[in-house]
A = this chain, B = another copy of it.
Amino acid sequence: MKEENELNLANGFNCPLPITNYDTVQLAHGSGGKLMGELIDKIFISTFNNKILNKMEDQATLNVGENKIVFTTDSFVVDPIFFNGGNIGELAVNGTVNDICMNGAKPLWLSAGFIIEEGFPIADLNRIVLSMRQAADNAGVQIVTGDTKVVNKNSCDKIFINTAGIGILEKDLNVSSSNLKPGDSIIISGTIADHGMAIMTSRKGLSFENTIESDCASLNDLINLITNTTSNINAMRDPTRGGAAATLNEFAAQSKVGIKIYADKIPVKTNVNGACEILGIDPLYVANEGKVIISLPGEEAKDLLSAMRKHPLGANAEIIGEVVEEHPGVVVKKTILGVEHIIDLPLGEQLPRIC
């Protein structure tokens, strides 16, 4: 009975605390965990309810004449707005570029919507906007339309930025989080938890011998290399809120497969791991902003890994696990002692305003 309950917990949408138990929105509803899954499912998906949205991908694929475009959006509310390795503007550009390219599309155009608190320093706004331009140039995209709202003092916390983006799907790929297959290998493009721990340590005022830097980066060049190396990618997603654990659970739930990862294969920087241990946080649950998790047929994994490691953003890539027929919907981690733990989708909030 216990096991059945755990399996049920792991699918991400059968939340043990149904949304009807809450009268108000909780921080946990924005966490990338189970409660957020439930909020999205019970309120947004069930009301907006259309075939494109219901696929629950990070981007919508749309037909324009003979062409396919992808369309995605993200709002950024990160606190602090300037952090080691980036700022809210850079994050807003890279985050949307990454969501666009995760199904193999080429990102081209972004929108930028600013909500600014009265009294926000013009110098900070300039710095943010300049780094958005630089991030856009790095990713080869243009910011082509925008909007600015200013709200009264204390009606928002400094600045929030929404970016939406459009890309063109030029390659004939079938990449989807519903598409993992037993026998697939799981690759991650580099070390995990850098972004989340950079935010957390800058917020808590913790200092480490080596400062932890966010991995904030646009992945489209790496993704281009990946999709040029093989056309058999089954799934790709950037593990942001909720970390690698959330992405792997979404993969397992949506594809109705099991996923097994190996603890000793998961790349984590020493200082990040140290910070996680001090704070009692599992790095698997911590947000990344420049990483991709890929599922592809096992026999192609080593070749792709070699190719990825030649790219600066893939230098620390690893094969971290495999897709199995057993325990559909459930992600397990096998320790070096051979013990398997369920890596459940987090229920609630580990770190609000991470992105």
Chain A residues near B (Cβ < 8 Å): 19, 22-31, 36, 39-40, 43-44, 47-50, 52-53, 59-60, 62, 64-67, 69, 71-77, 79, 108-109, 111-123, 125-126, 129-130, 132-133, 136, 142-152, 154-157, 160, 162, 164, 166, 168, 352-353
Contacts and interface: CB of A to CB of B under 8 A. Distances in A.
Nearest to A150: B30
16 contacts: A23-B123, A25-B117, A25-B150, A27-B118, A43-B125, A43-B129, A48-B133, A48-B136, A71-B144, A71-B145, A72-B111, A74-B147, A75-B113, A113-B113, A151-B353, A155-B156
Contacts of A43: 122, 125-126, 129
A100 to B, nearest CB: 11
B48 A143 contact: yes
Contact of A75 (B121, B145, B162): B162
A157 B151 contact: yes
Contact of A164 (B26, B120, B123, B164): B164
Contacts of A123: 23
Given A53-B145, A65-B67, 20 more contacts: A25-B125, A26-B118, A40-B146, A47-B133, A48-B143, A49-B133, A52-B145, A60-B109, A62-B144, A64-B168, A69-B69, A71-B111, A71-B145, A73-B145, A74-B147, A77-B115, A113-B113, A115-B160, A152-B353, A160-B160
A168 to B, nearest CB: 7
A155 B53 CA distance: 29
Contact of A129 (B44, B60, B168): B44
A111 B164 contact: yes
Contacts of A166: 62, 69, 71, 166
A65 B160 CA distance: 34
Nearest to A52: B144
Contacts of A52: 109, 142, 144-145
A21 to B, nearest CB: 10
Nearest to A126: B43
B48 A151 contact: no
A312 B99 CA distance: 41
Contacts of A47: 126, 129-130, 132-133
A143 B109 contact: no
A29 B62 contact: no
Contact of A121 (B24, B64, B160): B24
B145 A156 contact: no
A155 B152 contact: no
A147 B164 CA distance: 10
A352 B142 contact: no
A322 to B, nearest CB: 30
Contacts of A72: 111, 145
A118 B204 CA distance: 21
A205 B118 CA distance: 24
Nearest to A39: B148
A162 B148 CA distance: 11
Q: Which 10 A-B pairs have the closest CB atoms?
A: A30-B150, A164-B164, A73-B111, A162-B162, A60-B144, A155-B157, A75-B113, A60-B145, A52-B144, A65-B67
